[in-house]
């Protein structure tokens, strides 16, 4: 009799344990899916990488100086264009336009600078390989800031000499305009170019050094602009902590369905992977040429511009040693796969940064996903896309998920406005 009761008790205990196991909340994701989501989680973002090419990258004084330069409209020929004109904090450091507008109109959409310290390549075509060299390009672009480097050096000498010298050391005397003209530099403007060519190599180097230090200060500021956690990150963190109540209350069923599509059927993570939702590589996705614009070869021309760039990692203006420039030394510089290939933008805050693609060809996320769904031929090279056969409902779910990636900027509030 005692054995009967004992066996009955054991059976009841096992049944209770089984019932508890059946009804206990569990993760809706497999072990493999969990690791994919962990990789997309902002908590997986590694520490900010060093920039050997910029010895001032983590100097707080340089960042403070760069913050001022970033928003100073005097650094343009019109007097009303700054870096912050196209990279507006309230638009996630973009501008809401199809094509960026400075003193003129460019042929590319403004990319965000949030999190770009993690990328080995800058711009849609990767024609720059550091934040500081990227910052210098628009300053001498005829349609962005419109200036030339002696103009900027004179402005630094007039308005920021003490601050500059406290970081970079003594500034040469640029007051002799016969040696240092008001507007001279290796730019498209014929008069400015001729004035530059007439300068001695020593004077050119003295000017360029100050110009380069401007870029390095701006980069020190931009390194502080990082993405903040979003609802998606809260969901993953709750899942990893087995906090099922929080997890189930963070995303809706449709948003979770969109996430499943993102890592599965829609194949988005082929390009948009990692904690920044970009692999920082270059892909031809068959995006049409921008209206009224010439055919854009993308990385095919960008890589050549990078190799010939006066300010690349291997240049005399870089603080890096040759061994620090592996990305540049071993990059793929030719091949059909570069034609019409562009860098995938980060998807963090993507719902706040319309329009989309390298020339703002698509006004909405719906248009973007319809393009990927149908996978048209590329205007140049060969598209990597295959038709996805997503339903309208699935596209809606995907868009719902993408909206959960909006988290804003992780930076002190004072850095998100002009000083």
For residue 44, count other CB atoms closer than 10 A to its CB. Answer: 13
Give me the half-sphere count of Cα atoms (radius 13 Å) on the Cβ side of residue 273: 12
| CA neighbor of 34 nearest in space, from 172, 191, 240, 311 | 240
pLDDT of residue 26: 73
- Sequence-ordered list of residues with C-beta below 8 angstroms from that of 271, at least 6 positions apart, any chain: 278, 279, 281, 283, 285, 344
Structure tokens at 239: 């899942």
Alpha helices per DSSP H over 277-404: 299-307, 326-329, 365-374, 392-403
Tokens 């200060």 found at: 217
Question: Residue 298 pairs with which residues in a beta bridge?
Answer: 341
This prediction has a pTM of 0.93
Helices (H) and strands (E) in the chain, counts: 16, 2
Q: Inter-axis angle of helices 201-222 and 131-139, to 10 degrees?
A: 120
Please report the domains of the chain, with CATH numbers, ordered by start residue. Answer: 31-47+229-298+339-414 (1.10.760.10), 60-222 (1.10.760.10)
Which pLDDT tens digits describe the chain residue by residue (419 residues)?
A: 555 555 555 555 555 444 444 445 678 999 999 999 999 999 999 999 999 999 999 999 999 999 999 999 999 999 999 999 999 999 999 999 999 999 999 999 999 999 999 999 999 999 999 999 999 999 999 999 999 999 999 999 999 999 999 999 999 999 999 999 999 999 999 999 999 999 999 999 999 999 999 999 999 999 999 999 999 999 999 999 999 999 999 999 999 999 999 999 999 999 999 999 999 999 999 999 999 999 999 999 999 999 999 999 999 999 999 999 999 999 999 999 999 999 999 999 999 999 999 999 999 999 999 999 999 999 999 999 999 999 999 999 999 999 999 999 999 999 999 99
pLDDT of residue 8: 54
d(CA 411, CA 221): 10
pLDDT of residue 20: 42
pLDDT of residue 3: 54
pLDDT of residue 17: 46
pLDDT of residue 27: 84
pLDDT of residue 21: 43
Q: Indicate the pairing of strand 226-227 with strand 409-410.
A: antiparallel
Query: DSSP letter string over 130-150?
Result: SHHHHHHHHHT-TTTT---HH
């Amino acid at each position: 009799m005692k054995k009967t009761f004992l066996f009955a008790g054991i059976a009841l205990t096992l049944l209770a344990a089984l019932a508890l196991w059946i009804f206990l909340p569990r993760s809706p994701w497999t072990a493999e899916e969990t690791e994919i989501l962990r990789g997309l989680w902002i908590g997986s973002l590694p520490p900010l990488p060093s920039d050997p090419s910029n010895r001032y990258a983590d100097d707080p004084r340089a960042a403070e100086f760069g913050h001022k330069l970033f928003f100073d409209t005097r650094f343009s020929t019109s007097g009303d264009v700054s870096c912050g004109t196209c990279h507006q904090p309230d638009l996630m450091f973009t501008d809401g336009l199809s094509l960026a507008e400075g003193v003129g109109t460019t042929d590319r959409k403004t990319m965000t600078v949030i999190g770009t310290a993690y990328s080995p390549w800058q711009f849609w075509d990767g024609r720059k390989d550091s934040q500081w060299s990227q910052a210098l390009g628009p300053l001498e672009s005829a349609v962005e800031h419109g200036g030339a480097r002696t103009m900027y050096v004179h402005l630094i000498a007039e308005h920021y000499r003490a601050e500059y010298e406290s970081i970079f050391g003594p500034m040469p005397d640029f007051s002799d305009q016969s040696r240092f003209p008001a507007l001279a530099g290796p730019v498209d403007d014929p008069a400015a170019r001729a004035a530059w060519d007439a300068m001695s190599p020593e004077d050119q180097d003295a000017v360029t050094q100050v110009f380069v230090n401007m870029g390095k200060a701006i980069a020190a500021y931009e390194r502080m602009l990082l993405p903040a956690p979003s609802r998606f990150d809260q969901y993953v963190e709750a899942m990893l902590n087995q906090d099922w109540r929080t997890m189930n209350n963070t995303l809706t069923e449709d948003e979770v369905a969109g996430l499943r599509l993102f890592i599965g059927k829609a194949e988005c993570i082929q390009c948009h992977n990692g904690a920044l939702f970009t692999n920082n590589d270059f892909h031809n996705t068959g995006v049409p040429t921008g209206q009224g614009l010439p055919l854009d070869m993308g990385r095919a021309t960008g890589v050549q511009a990078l190799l010939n760039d006066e300010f690349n990692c291997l240049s005399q203006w870089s603080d890096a040693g040759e061994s620090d420039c592996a990305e540049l030394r071993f990059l793929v510089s030719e091949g059909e796969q570069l034609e019409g290939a562009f860098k995938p933008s980060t998807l963090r805050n993507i719902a706040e940064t319309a329009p989309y693609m390298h020339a703002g060809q698509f006004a909405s996320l719906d248009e973007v996903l319809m393009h990927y769904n149908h996978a048209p031929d590329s205007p140049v090279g060969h598209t990597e896309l295959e038709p996805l056969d997503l339903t309208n409902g699935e596209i809606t779910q995907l868009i719902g998920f993408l909206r959960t990636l909006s988290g804003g900027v992780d930076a002190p509030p004072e850095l998100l406005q002009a000083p």
